[in-house]
Amino acid sequence: MFLKADILGIESGGKPIVFLNKSDADEIGIRASGRITITFKKKPVTSIVNTTTSVKRGIIGVNEEVRQTLGIKQNSLVDVDIAPFPKSLQYIHNKLTGRRLGFDEISEIVRDVVQGNLNENEISAFVTALSMQGLDLDEATGLALSMVDTGKQLNLRKKMIVDKHSIGGVPGDKTTLLVVPIIASLGLTIPKVSSRAITSAGGTADRAEALMPVDLKISEMERVVRRSNGCIIWGGSLELAPADDIFVRSEYSLYIDPLLLPSIMSKKKAVNTKHLVIDIPTGRGAKMQTVGESDFLAKELIEVGRRLGIHTQCVLTNGDKPIGYAIGPSLEAREALSVLMNRAVVPDLTDKVCHIAGSILEMAGRRNGYQLAREALRSGRAEAKMREIIGLQGGNTKIRIDDFAIGQEREKIMAGKTGHVLWMDNVALIELARAAGAPKDKGAGIFFNKKVGDKVRSGDVIYTVFSEKARKLSRALEIVKDSAPIGIGEYHEMFIHKVKEPSPVKRSFVMER
Amino acid sequence: MFLKADILGIESGGKPIVFLNKSDADEIGIRASGRITITFKKKPVTSIVNTTTSVKRGIIGVNEEVRQTLGIKQNSLVDVDIAPFPKSLQYIHNKLTGRRLGFDEISEIVRDVVQGNLNENEISAFVTALSMQGLDLDEATGLALSMVDTGKQLNLRKKMIVDKHSIGGVPGDKTTLLVVPIIASLGLTIPKVSSRAITSAGGTADRAEALMPVDLKISEMERVVRRSNGCIIWGGSLELAPADDIFVRSEYSLYIDPLLLPSIMSKKKAVNTKHLVIDIPTGRGAKMQTVGESDFLAKELIEVGRRLGIHTQCVLTNGDKPIGYAIGPSLEAREALSVLMNRAVVPDLTDKVCHIAGSILEMAGRRNGYQLAREALRSGRAEAKMREIIGLQGGNTKIRIDDFAIGQEREKIMAGKTGHVLWMDNVALIELARAAGAPKDKGAGIFFNKKVGDKVRSGDVIYTVFSEKARKLSRALEIVKDSAPIGIGEYHEMFIHKVKEPSPVKRSFVMER
């Protein structure tokens, strides 16, 4: 039927959206969340339908995405009909009943996701089905390839592109800020694409942004990498795997992560990585709790890598406590710069960095990788490379340790008793840093004076909470009061807790992409 | 943070919806599809967030639902914060990982669904998880009870309320239009709540609407039933189980139906049914394909009924072909009235009606139920009762067979060869009737001259397609050309079809609620 377009002036992040009067929708034979095809001058677009009583009969309210795609104006007459039933929905349904998906079926699903032909219910069902049924290696590979095919790719025409990735989950993990300049300073090419926090206190892109701009176009990224061999760029606007950005919305909402494997590997494929090291933090409070689990994930990552032509190794690292002394974008960037400048000694961070950088170097044929990485740090070559990258990305090459704006609202947290730091609770510490304002407020976060194993006397400062706003600091301090983010005691203490009734609900799910 | 309200004037079917600028959402610490609490004069409301660039910073766009709940005006200053994480989401997550849900957990989920605290992704994941994991009888009972608790109830203070239900799926099934007046004419109380078509060519409410108004309030329904012992009302605006109306949106979109059992039983409990007969059409092209499957479903329905205090029996009926000669609201209503008036002989319809009505009568203590029902039809008592109900619901008590407006756009379909009608394809016939305009266009549909088993000569009219609009008739005729809704041949013909490559996608899912 023909309807008059009403331009609503709403943008919806790339997705076509329309509003129809309920009667018109009935007449077309469609319900809310159904699909229609809107045609104007022989150009069609498929859109998900919303029904409402506030749009008059004979009118179709359209968002900016529909207006632009069709090139219509206020009151343009468009032809509206039921869209053909998408095959991809049949495939999703099949997965939901336990069938495995073939490569063509996966391609079709991913294409329809990117083109907006599937509604949120349908995408959410697909993600749920993947989470419940699991995906085999063929499916994971197919998803990774389809995500690459529907996105942009980086083409540097360099032979030896290397990369690192962490499956994340551990607060304070600024490893990438050191690995990239080390590797680039040693002549390998590492075009690092990073993520922002979704549920964490900071992703690598959030940390790097305290040092330099990270929101670059793909052409600018190419320029930086051609000149310096490295970069640290936020992946969000590069569109390397736009399907993943859509899937992640459902995953986040449901705190499930079935697409972890294709999500990682698609983005590495899209930048043409040849050698890849993946960090799998393992331990209580990390995404992977046991070595067995992590080894199994590693095996799958390596196998999918093989199928995609990416030489992959995994490094299991200790994930049961934060890395270094700082959590929060600016505090972490400051700590990373201090280590690059040899102005601070952060043994756990340096050890992790050198293991990962060393593994990359050895995959690329160098010997004694750990020592090479350590020497690049000690000699200042890594620092010089980092300042070069900062400059090319548009930051201040002369940035000093005192230049970071750290939140002025501060509270020191003292030990209530004497003993040792026995444990640090990653999840509670992330919650605390987020309440203080991280990662949105770059200067918010936590700085530790003591870490696991350190001797503590009652009254000693264990850590300081930083915030940019008084309101957020007091919200954070309530969390300190309600939970115990850090445990102090003696090593002979055995009691964990007693269960008298079902435990209260506790969401713990860390996500960055 | 405090934001200024912008009243958008959009209604969204009861669900609170707000739009925030991306930066404000980041500041609050929330992503699209997250939950916020909006407070005005100490009154809070929880809403799902949409982020957009077209709402300015400092502004919150609100729909009518939010405006009314909070009692705010344009530019009212509201306090916006992250909503507490809903426990129900943890329970959904648990179900998704294979755990069974307890009664309190189910209640919490259903309450949050009804109050709009869960977003579409989350509801869709719950429905998907139920479909994949299945629900045990405790969960089904818990869902049914929670759905009743969150809805309205009918209280007639009569001792003996009986009811019937069909799980549906068979086109042309106007059984209810005859069972209700038969039962009511024999002194039992049958407050029938019916559904409209979702993916079928007509639900009972659509058929009944060709005879009388069906969109009554619960108080009006009570009045009709008190006077006449029966009614046929559309359940959509009665709010007997509002949760089900929300779940069904996800089910429809994904064409899965895991809530069938609690959906049926909650609505029967809400009208205080004591004796219930459920029709399970069984056969090729029906929802249930085999007698074994149907018997298993029957067992579950009976057991859940027992737990809810509803005495339940199931009747398996032949579901592999349409009931009677007519498909489409007005054609079916006309056929039902013709049988009530003893002006037409429709043996399969009459047999089905008398079995179901007979079963109800025998559950309520009468003897020879089938014969009693048959006699109520023959004597005209059922017709008189139907006219009484029509009058009480606001229709024309004197309605004649010629009064139905049948579509003027018609096409007779002839047999291409001589033989017998071997089969009728329910799914193709529903698709055909829908293309012709049913159920939205009441006069659209199909009338059969021949049914399964009838002898046919080449050139005989097998059926006529009716439509109200030429455009829809030609759309319907394309389906006739592309598919074979009715098979004619000889009984010795054995060939079904050959598979040379994967079959094309075919959605077949019939839903009414």
Taking the domains of chain A in order of start, what are their residue ranges? 2-82, 87-134, 162-237+266-401, 409-489
Instruction: Let me know if domain B87-134 sits in CATH 3.90.180.10.
Output: no
Say if A6 is an interface residue toward chain B (CB within 8 Å).
Answer: no
The amino acid that residue B277 corresponds to is V
Show the beta-strand stretches assigned E in B136-274. Answer: 162-166, 190-194, 230-234
With an 8 Å Cβ cutoff, is A59 touching chain B? no
Question: Quick one: how many helices (H) and strands (E) in chain B?
Answer: 18, 18
Fold of A2-82: Barwin-like endoglucanases (2.40.40)
Q: Are A45 and A38 in contact (CB under 8 A)?
A: yes
Peptide bond into A181 cis (omega under 30): no
- Give me the pLDDT at residue B10, please: 77
Q: Residue B156: what pLDDT?
A: 86
Contact A476, A432 (CB under 8 A): yes
Q: Which residues are CB-contacts of A44 (< 8 A; sequence separation ≥ 6)?
A: A37, A38
Residues 79-98 of A with CB under 8 A from B: 85, 87, 89-90, 92-93, 96, 98
Q: In chain B, what is the straight-line distance between the N-terminal and C-terminal CA atoms, in Å?
A: 42
Confidence of residue A382 (pLDDT cuts 50, 70, 90): very high
Lowest mean pLDDT among A368-377, B85-94, B332-341: B85-94
ipTM attached to this prediction: 0.78
Residue A13 pLDDT > 80, yes or no? no
Contacts of B52 in chain A (CB under 8 A): 10-13
pLDDT digits (tens, 9 = 90+) for B208-221: 999 999 999 999 99
CA dihedral of residues B365, B367, B371, B375 (deg, nearest 10) = -70
Q: Are the C-beta atoms of residues A420 and A453 closer than 8 Å to each other?
A: yes
Class of domain B162-238+255-401: alpha beta
Contact B440 A253 (CB under 8 A): no
Q: What pLDDT does A70 receive?
A: 93
**pLDDT score for B66:** 92
Name the CA radius of gyration of chain A, rounded.
Answer: 25
CB pairs under 8 A between A and B: 135
Count Cβ atoms below 10 Å from residue A445 Cβ, excluding itself.
32
Average pLDDT, chain A: 92
Task: Specify the CATH number of the domain B409-489.
Answer: 3.90.1170.30
Check B440 against A250: CB less than 8 A apart.
no
Burial code of A322-333, b = ≥16 C-beta within 10 A, e = fewer? bbbbbbbbbbbb
Does B132 contact chain A (CB < 8 Å)?
A: yes
CB-based contact (8 Å) between B120 and chain A? Answer: yes
Mutate to test the interface with B, among A23, A101, A119, A253 (most CBs of B within 10 A): A253
* Residue B425: active-site member: no
B249 reaches A (C-beta below 8 A): yes
Confidence of residue A508 (pLDDT cuts 50, 70, 90): low
In the chain, the amino acid numbered A228 is S
Positive or negative, the Cα torsion across B86, B87, B89, B90?
Answer: positive
State the CATH class of domain A162-237+266-401: alpha beta
* pTM for the predicted model, two decimal places: 0.84
Q: Do domains B2-82 and B162-238+255-401 have the same CATH topology?
A: no
pLDDT exceeds 60 at position A398 = yes
Is the pLDDT confidence value at A513 over 70?
Answer: no
